[in-house]
Amino acid sequence: MKKYKWFMMLWMMGVASPAWASQMNIDPYFALGASGLQADLAGSKATTPAFHFTAGSTLNWISPNLGAEVRLGFGGQLSTFSGSINGYTSYLLKPSLELTRHLNIYALLGVSTISMDIANVSYADTSPSYGLGFSYHVPNESFLFNTELMQYRKNSDQSAISISGVSIYGITASFEFYYY
DSSP 68-95: EEEEEEE--EEGGGTEEEEEEEEEEEEE
Domains defined along the chain, listed by start: 25-178 (2.40.160.20)
> How does pLDDT run across 99-124, given as a tens digit for each residue?
998 899 999 999 999 888 877 778 88
Give the count of alpha carbons within 13 A of 43, CB side only: 0
Q: pTM of whole model > 0.95?
A: no
Report pLDDT for 62: 87
Report pLDDT for 153: 86
* Residue 24 pLDDT > 70: no
> How does pLDDT run across 129-174, given as a tens digit for each residue?
999 999 998 877 688 899 999 998 887 655 555 566 788 889 999 9
93-102 average pLDDT score: 93
Q: How far is CA 99 from CA 104, 106, 137, 173, in A?
A: 5, 10, 11, 19
> How does pLDDT run across 80-89, given as a tens digit for each residue?
777 888 899 9
63 vs 49: CA distance, rounded Å:
34
Report pLDDT for 133: 96
On whether the CB atoms of residues 75 and 86 are closer than 8 A, the answer is yes
